Amino acid sequence: YKETAENGERTLDSVLAQDVYDHLTAKGYRVFFSRISLEDKLGVEYEPYIFAALNSAKVMLAFGTSYDYYNAVWVKNEWSRFLKLMEKDKGKYLIPCFKDIDAYDMPKEFARFQAQDMGKVGAIQDLLRGIEKLIGSREKNNQATQQVIVQQVSGGPNADALVKRGYDALEDGAFAEAKKLFDEVLNSNAESAEAYLGLFMAETKCKNKDSAKEKYVMGKYTDNRYWKRARQYAKDEIGNELEAWERAREDRLRKEEEERVRAQNEREEAERKRKEERNKKKEELKDIRAQIAEIKAGKYTPDAKDTEKLNGFKSKEEAAQKAWEQAKADLALMPQKAEITKLESEISKKRSTAASLGIFKGKEKKTLLEQAEVLEDTLKSKRREVESRTKEVDQLQKDYLTAQREAYQFVGEILDKAIGVLQTQEHSLWLEVVGECVVGATVRFGGDETGPIEWRVLDRVGNKALLLSEYRIKSLPYDKGNTDATWETCSLRKWLNETFLNTAFDSDEIGLIQSTIVTADKNPYYNTSPGNNTTDKVFLLSISEVNKYFKSASERRLKRKKSEGFEVLWWLRSPGADGRCAAAVNEKGSIEYNGNFTFADFSIRPAIWINLEP
């Protein structure tokens, strides 16, 4: 559960969890509840206790009152770890406990588990009974009590009345009670489609048939055993009704498949056009470089008319440059500058002398102040002269830059507008990577099924630039194993330098990506071994690199693309508190030095060094 809300107050999830904790401990169960179990533990010691609890527990109760709370960093970290343990130990169980949200708004990983609505009457009692069935009753008469209840029901009304009561219970949200009633119907009529449909609705938490139809049409219940029996025995009116549900589901699936195919075709066509356009621009760039090389080698001579025009542009540029440099030199030598300094000194001296005169020196003081005023007028005049000359120099500089720009533009025309192509083709590969490759800029390089990948330029060293993906590329574990791992040995390094490298970039782009010595940087707060240096094309940033390139938490926060609900914590390559943990940056932009378990799925932001002069 999530303990603290954004405003710093305790969450409703924590209160619900403690109520259940009190009931469980009262019945003699051994329960790990962090609010109480860890209240006397130091902050650096909690992880071993959590790890021990996850490994020894038979049942995990996952409390949530919102999708975001279920997916808070540490909440998701713990239930995802428990799910992995369940895969190896079939004696472990997870029960999602929710309130004030639809069960289908919980994480998709919970879809296969029976959830408990904590907002209904008797929720805690129902939860306790469920736990007793999973790991054994703490009350010896529990089985006898259940037998008495079954006997009382089976000796009561007829099947039709039980069906009616079952659907009434569904409307009231009493799903456990409805299930018992429908089970009793099947004890007397094992082929009751209405009863099986009622059990399907109770299991999927539907209060009426409209809700059940909507969930069936939109959900994944084709393999539900109650639904299969309901379809098997359904006849006449109810048979037609369930058949209509299936047709609606098939229509939805057909439309979704058509939309998926259409979207896929559009993506493939867009990618084809993108590659075609990029290849075209690459050829243009080759032609431009060839023409420029010819001119530099003296193998290309413009015709007489172009030569005359070019000489005219160059003469204009040289004259403008000469005029600007001469004016700049004259400005530096203006006598007015020295006069201004002298006048400022004389004015200051006279005002200072006047201020020091006593009350009986009034006439002398007045004379000094009047002289200072006269000098002040002269000073203003001198300053205006300098300012006027400065503006003239600035204008001459602008004239020179304009002449220079006009000359460059005409050279571009001579080269069949080759340089103009380089300057205007913003989407060409080379311009995207090089033309805007300044620190802090965003460039596009490589691509995946969603389109070009956007990168943030973190550093420039000579002809190389360090890029970090602006958005999440994918969510993966740092290492698939549940053992100690370093950047040198982790599975994520292998995925980045093989799968990602060869699918996100073409051969030309891979040629631009530099093989880099990736240092095994230590964690500044823990003595965990970082492994050895590696040589990679793609890598993750270390703690020291994040601190170097990002000066605040807001800069470190991973941006979300629109409509994405993924975990915004992103991996770093540095080790955490021990070999099973890797450091990360959390959703608030803070560095988690103690790290997260390496087998958890978190966001990946690859980093690469590229060569700017292929």
Average pLDDT over residues 144-158: 38
Please provide the average confidence, as pLDDT, over all residues in the chain: 83
Average pLDDT over residues 331-357: 84
Query: Other C-beta atoms within 10 Å of 412: how many?
Result: 18
**Cα–Cα separations (whole angstroms), residue 325 to 315, 396, 412, 493:** 15, 9, 26, 56
**What distance lies between CA 107 and its chain's CA centroid?**
18
Share of the chain above pLDDT 70, in %: 85
pLDDT tens, position by position, 229-283 = 998 999 888 999 999 999 999 998 899 889 988 988 887 887 788 778 767 766 7
In this predicted model, which residue has the larger pLDDT, 359 or 578? 578
User: Residue 613: what pLDDT?
Assistant: 66
* DSSP codes of every residue in 281-343: HHHHHHHHHHHHHHHHTT-----HHHHHHHHHHHHHHHHHHHHHHHHHHHHHT-HHHHHHHHH
Write the CB contacts of 102 (distance below 8 Å, at least 6 apart in sequence). none
**What distance lies between CA 183 and its chain's CA centroid?**
47
C-alpha 344/C-alpha 383 separation (Å) is 11
Please say whether the beta carbons of 135 and 154 come within 8 A: no
Q: Is the pLDDT of residue 140 over 50?
A: no
User: Residue 156: what pLDDT?
Assistant: 36
Average pLDDT over residues 359-382: 85
C-alpha 5/C-alpha 39 separation (Å) is 18
User: Residue 297: what pLDDT?
Assistant: 61
Q: How many CA atoms lie within 13 A of 338 on its CB side?
A: 4
Q: Residues 107-125, buried b or exposed e (16+ Cβ, 10 A)?
A: beebeebebbbbeeeebbe
Write the CB contacts of 148 (distance below 8 Å, at least 6 apart in sequence). none
Please calculate the CA angle 427-431-435 and round it to the nearest 5 degrees. Answer: 130
In this predicted model, which residue has the larger pLDDT, 150 or 574? 574
* DSSP codes of every residue in 236-260: HHHHHHHHHHHHHHHHHHHHHHHHH
User: Residue 154: what pLDDT?
Assistant: 34
Share of the chain above pLDDT 90, in %: 35
User: Residue 423: what pLDDT?
Assistant: 36
Q: Is the pLDDT of residue 300 over 80?
A: no
Least confident of 327-336, 398-407, 425-434, 593-602: 425-434
Q: HEC string of 170-211?
A: HHCCCHHHHHHHHHHHHHHCCCCHHHHHHHHHHHCCCCCHHH
User: Residue 278: what pLDDT?
Assistant: 65
Kindly indicate the confidence band of residue 382, based on its pLDDT and cuts at 50, 70 and 90: confident
Write the CB contacts of 383 (distance below 8 Å, at least 6 apart in sequence). 340
Cross-strand partners of 94: 60
Closest CA to 271 of 447, 15, 395: 447
| DSSP SS3 for 96 | strand
Q: Is the pLDDT of residue 435 over 80?
A: no
Cross-strand partners of 610: 465, 513
What is the chain's alpha carbon radius of gyration, rounded to the nearest angstrom?
38
Average pLDDT over residues 128-133: 89
pLDDT tens, position by position, 510-534 = 988 999 999 999 999 999 999 999 9
Q: Residues 566-603, buried b or exposed e (16+ Cβ, 10 A)?
A: bbbbbbbbbbbbbbbbbbbbbbebebbbbbbbbbbbbb
Q: Treating both helix axes as pointing N-terminal to C-terminal, what angle do 73-88 and 46-56 enclose, rounded to 10 degrees?
A: 40
Q: Is the pLDDT of residue 42 over 70?
A: no
Q: Is the pLDDT of residue 430 over 60?
A: no
C-alpha 64/C-alpha 50 separation (Å) is 19
Average pLDDT over residues 212-222: 85
Kindly indicate the confidence band of residue 419, based on its pLDDT and cuts at 50, 70 and 90: very low
Kindly indicate the confidence band of residue 288, based on its pLDDT and cuts at 50, 70 and 90: low
Least confident of 53-62, 355-364, 464-473, 598-607: 355-364
User: Residue 433: what pLDDT?
Assistant: 43
| DSSP SS3 for 151 | helix
Q: Is the pLDDT of residue 437 over 50?
A: yes
Average pLDDT over residues 119-124: 89
Q: Are strands 475-477 and 601-603 parallel, antiparallel or unpaired?
A: antiparallel
Q: Is the pLDDT of residue 592 over 90?
A: yes
Kindly indicate the confidence band of residue 561, based on its pLDDT and cuts at 50, 70 and 90: low
Q: Is the pLDDT of residue 24 over 80?
A: yes
Closest CA to 61 of 121, 6, 5, 128: 128
* DSSP codes of every residue in 457-517: EEEEETTEEEEEESS---EEES-SSSS---TTT-HHHHHIIIIIHHHHS-HHHHHHBPPEE
